[in-house]
Amino acid sequence: MTETLPLFPLNLVLFPGARLPLRIFESRYIDMVRECMRNQTGFGVVWRMDTTSESGHGHALVGTEATIEDFSMLEDGLLGIECRGQRRFRIQATRARDNGLLIGEVEWLKDQPAAAISAHHAALQSLMREIQQHQELAGQIDADADDAISLGLGLASVLPIDRPRAQNLLEMTHPEQRLDAIMAIVEHNLQSEDGEGGRSEGSA
Protein backbone atom coordinates (compact mmCIF):
# COMPACT_ATOMS: atom_id res chain seq x y z
CA MET A 1 0.00 0.00 0.00
CA THR A 2 1.38 3.39 -0.97
CA GLU A 3 0.90 6.87 0.45
CA THR A 4 1.26 10.32 -1.07
CA LEU A 5 4.20 12.44 0.06
CA PRO A 6 5.52 15.80 -1.20
CA LEU A 7 9.18 15.46 -2.19
CA PHE A 8 12.08 17.85 -1.61
CA PRO A 9 15.18 16.84 -3.63
CA LEU A 10 18.32 18.11 -1.88
CA ASN A 11 22.05 17.63 -2.33
CA LEU A 12 22.28 15.45 0.78
CA VAL A 13 21.20 12.10 2.19
CA LEU A 14 18.92 12.37 5.24
CA PHE A 15 18.84 9.50 7.73
CA PRO A 16 16.14 8.68 10.30
CA GLY A 17 16.86 10.46 13.57
CA ALA A 18 19.09 13.10 11.99
CA ARG A 19 18.51 16.84 12.41
CA LEU A 20 18.02 18.88 9.25
CA PRO A 21 17.94 22.70 9.29
CA LEU A 22 16.66 24.27 6.06
CA ARG A 23 16.31 27.77 4.60
CA ILE A 24 13.22 27.93 2.39
CA PHE A 25 12.89 30.50 -0.37
CA GLU A 26 11.11 28.92 -3.35
CA SER A 27 7.36 29.53 -3.30
CA ARG A 28 6.50 25.87 -4.02
CA TYR A 29 8.42 24.77 -0.93
CA ILE A 30 7.00 27.57 1.21
CA ASP A 31 3.55 26.28 0.20
CA MET A 32 4.69 22.73 1.01
CA VAL A 33 5.88 23.75 4.49
CA ARG A 34 2.63 25.62 5.16
CA GLU A 35 0.62 22.58 4.09
CA CYS A 36 2.72 20.19 6.20
CA MET A 37 2.38 22.36 9.28
CA ARG A 38 -1.35 22.79 8.80
CA ASN A 39 -1.90 19.04 8.39
CA GLN A 40 0.86 18.02 10.85
CA THR A 41 2.43 15.82 8.18
CA GLY A 42 5.97 15.40 6.84
CA PHE A 43 7.66 15.67 3.48
CA GLY A 44 10.13 13.42 1.74
CA VAL A 45 13.82 14.30 1.37
CA VAL A 46 15.59 12.56 -1.51
CA TRP A 47 19.16 12.94 -2.69
CA ARG A 48 19.27 15.14 -5.79
CA MET A 49 21.85 13.58 -8.09
CA ASP A 50 24.10 15.61 -10.37
CA THR A 51 23.19 13.35 -13.28
CA THR A 52 20.13 11.36 -14.21
CA SER A 53 20.18 7.86 -12.77
CA GLU A 54 19.71 4.66 -14.74
CA SER A 55 16.07 4.71 -13.70
CA GLY A 56 15.62 8.00 -15.56
CA HIS A 57 15.22 10.13 -12.44
CA GLY A 58 17.36 13.03 -11.31
CA HIS A 59 16.98 11.93 -7.71
CA ALA A 60 17.32 8.80 -5.61
CA LEU A 61 14.30 6.52 -5.30
CA VAL A 62 14.82 5.87 -1.58
CA GLY A 63 14.55 8.78 0.83
CA THR A 64 13.56 9.77 4.35
CA GLU A 65 10.48 11.51 5.65
CA ALA A 66 11.24 14.78 7.45
CA THR A 67 8.95 16.31 10.04
CA ILE A 68 9.08 19.97 11.04
CA GLU A 69 9.97 20.55 14.69
CA ASP A 70 10.35 24.35 14.68
CA PHE A 71 10.34 27.34 12.33
CA SER A 72 11.40 30.99 12.36
CA MET A 73 11.93 33.98 10.11
CA LEU A 74 15.65 34.42 9.50
CA GLU A 75 17.53 37.72 9.41
CA ASP A 76 17.69 37.58 5.62
CA GLY A 77 13.90 37.31 5.46
CA LEU A 78 13.83 33.64 4.51
CA LEU A 79 11.85 30.97 6.29
CA GLY A 80 13.99 28.73 8.48
CA ILE A 81 12.75 25.32 9.57
CA GLU A 82 14.21 22.68 11.88
CA CYS A 83 13.41 19.13 10.75
CA ARG A 84 14.10 15.61 11.95
CA GLY A 85 14.42 12.49 9.82
CA GLN A 86 11.76 9.87 10.45
CA ARG A 87 10.72 6.90 8.26
CA ARG A 88 12.46 5.70 5.11
CA PHE A 89 10.48 5.22 1.91
CA ARG A 90 10.81 3.99 -1.66
CA ILE A 91 9.25 5.99 -4.47
CA GLN A 92 6.90 4.01 -6.71
CA ALA A 93 5.72 6.87 -8.94
CA THR A 94 5.89 10.66 -9.15
CA ARG A 95 3.87 13.52 -10.54
CA ALA A 96 4.32 17.29 -10.48
CA ARG A 97 1.85 19.91 -9.33
CA ASP A 98 1.26 23.02 -11.39
CA ASN A 99 3.76 24.91 -9.22
CA GLY A 100 6.45 22.30 -9.90
CA LEU A 101 6.28 20.58 -6.51
CA LEU A 102 7.08 16.89 -6.90
CA ILE A 103 4.60 14.47 -5.34
CA GLY A 104 5.59 10.86 -4.76
CA GLU A 105 3.59 7.69 -4.31
CA VAL A 106 5.75 5.96 -1.71
CA GLU A 107 5.91 2.76 0.28
CA TRP A 108 7.51 2.78 3.72
CA LEU A 109 10.64 0.70 4.34
CA LYS A 110 11.59 -1.16 7.49
CA ASP A 111 14.83 -2.80 8.51
CA GLN A 112 14.78 -6.50 9.12
CA PRO A 113 14.92 -7.44 12.84
CA ALA A 114 18.38 -6.93 14.24
CA ALA A 115 20.33 -9.34 16.40
CA ALA A 116 22.28 -8.19 19.43
CA ILE A 117 25.24 -6.02 18.53
CA SER A 118 28.20 -8.32 17.99
CA ALA A 119 31.67 -7.95 19.48
CA HIS A 120 32.89 -7.11 15.96
CA HIS A 121 30.79 -3.94 16.05
CA ALA A 122 31.63 -2.95 19.65
CA ALA A 123 34.06 -0.31 18.37
CA LEU A 124 31.15 1.39 16.59
CA GLN A 125 29.24 1.50 19.87
CA SER A 126 32.23 3.19 21.51
CA LEU A 127 32.47 5.64 18.60
CA MET A 128 28.79 6.56 18.94
CA ARG A 129 29.14 7.12 22.67
CA GLU A 130 32.13 9.39 22.04
CA ILE A 131 30.09 11.36 19.51
CA GLN A 132 27.24 11.68 22.00
CA GLN A 133 29.66 13.31 24.47
CA HIS A 134 30.12 16.22 22.06
CA GLN A 135 27.16 18.54 22.50
CA GLU A 136 27.23 19.90 18.95
CA LEU A 137 27.32 16.47 17.31
CA ALA A 138 24.91 14.89 19.79
CA GLY A 139 22.28 17.48 18.89
CA GLN A 140 22.41 16.40 15.26
CA ILE A 141 21.23 12.85 15.88
CA ASP A 142 18.77 10.86 17.95
CA ALA A 143 20.39 7.42 18.23
CA ASP A 144 20.68 4.47 20.60
CA ALA A 145 24.15 2.94 20.72
CA ASP A 146 22.69 -0.36 21.97
CA ASP A 147 20.30 -0.79 19.05
CA ALA A 148 21.84 -2.06 15.81
CA ILE A 149 19.40 -0.22 13.54
CA SER A 150 19.66 3.08 15.41
CA LEU A 151 23.44 2.76 15.76
CA GLY A 152 23.98 2.22 12.04
CA LEU A 153 21.66 4.98 10.88
CA GLY A 154 23.01 7.39 13.50
CA LEU A 155 26.65 6.86 12.55
CA ALA A 156 25.85 7.09 8.87
CA SER A 157 24.31 10.51 9.44
CA VAL A 158 27.33 12.08 11.17
CA LEU A 159 30.41 10.36 9.76
CA PRO A 160 32.23 11.87 6.73
CA ILE A 161 30.75 9.61 4.04
CA ASP A 162 30.38 10.55 0.39
CA ARG A 163 26.82 10.74 -0.88
CA PRO A 164 26.77 7.61 -3.09
CA ARG A 165 27.92 5.44 -0.18
CA ALA A 166 25.58 7.26 2.20
CA GLN A 167 22.68 6.54 -0.15
CA ASN A 168 23.71 2.90 -0.27
CA LEU A 169 23.66 2.75 3.54
CA LEU A 170 20.21 4.34 3.60
CA GLU A 171 18.85 1.74 1.21
CA MET A 172 20.17 -1.26 3.17
CA THR A 173 17.58 -3.20 5.16
CA HIS A 174 19.96 -5.56 7.01
CA PRO A 175 21.23 -3.77 10.17
CA GLU A 176 24.33 -5.96 10.48
CA GLN A 177 25.19 -5.40 6.80
CA ARG A 178 24.97 -1.65 7.37
CA LEU A 179 27.25 -1.87 10.41
CA ASP A 180 29.74 -3.97 8.41
CA ALA A 181 29.79 -1.31 5.68
CA ILE A 182 30.28 1.50 8.22
CA MET A 183 33.08 -0.43 9.89
CA ALA A 184 34.82 -0.76 6.53
CA ILE A 185 34.43 2.99 5.90
CA VAL A 186 35.83 3.87 9.34
CA GLU A 187 38.79 1.53 8.90
CA HIS A 188 39.48 2.93 5.43
CA ASN A 189 39.44 6.50 6.75
CA LEU A 190 41.79 5.59 9.60
CA GLN A 191 44.21 3.96 7.15
CA SER A 192 44.05 7.05 4.95
CA GLU A 193 44.87 9.26 7.91
CA ASP A 194 47.83 7.08 8.84
CA GLY A 195 49.11 7.11 5.28
CA GLU A 196 48.66 10.82 4.64
CA GLY A 197 49.84 12.43 7.83
CA GLY A 198 46.43 12.76 9.42
CA ARG A 199 44.48 13.88 6.36
CA SER A 200 41.24 12.01 5.72
CA GLU A 201 39.92 11.42 2.23
CA GLY A 202 36.32 11.25 3.42
CA SER A 203 34.02 14.12 2.54
CA ALA A 204 30.52 14.91 3.71
Residue 145 forms part of a structural domain: yes
Domain end residue (candidates: 76, 109, 142): 109
User: What is the predicted pLDDT for the residue at 52?
Assistant: 56
pTM for the model stands at 0.87
Domain end residue (candidates: 80, 109, 138): 109
User: What is the predicted pLDDT for the residue at 165?
Assistant: 96
The range of the structural domain enclosing residue 44 comes to: 3-109
> What domain count does the chain have?
2
Residue 171 forms part of a structural domain: yes
DSSP string, the chain: --EEEEEEEESS---TTBEEEEEE-SHHHHHHHHHHHHHT--EEEEEB-SS--TTS-SB-SEEEEEEEEEEEE-TTS-EEEEEEEEEEEEEEEEEE-TT--EEEEEEEE-PPPP-PPPGGGHHHHHHHHHHHTSHHHHTTB---TTSHHHHHHHHHHHS---HHHHHHHHH---HHHHHHHHHHHHHHHHHHHHHTTT------
The pLDDT profile of the chain, 204 residues, written as one tens digit per residue, is 889 999 999 999 999 999 999 999 999 999 999 999 999 999 999 999 876 555 567 899 999 999 999 999 888 888 899 999 999 999 999 999 999 999 999 999 999 988 789 999 999 999 999 998 887 777 788 889 999 999 999 999 999 999 999 999 999 999 999 999 999 999 988 777 766 554 433 333
Domain end residue (candidates: 62, 84, 109): 109
Query: What's the CATH code of the domain at 164?
Result: 1.20.58
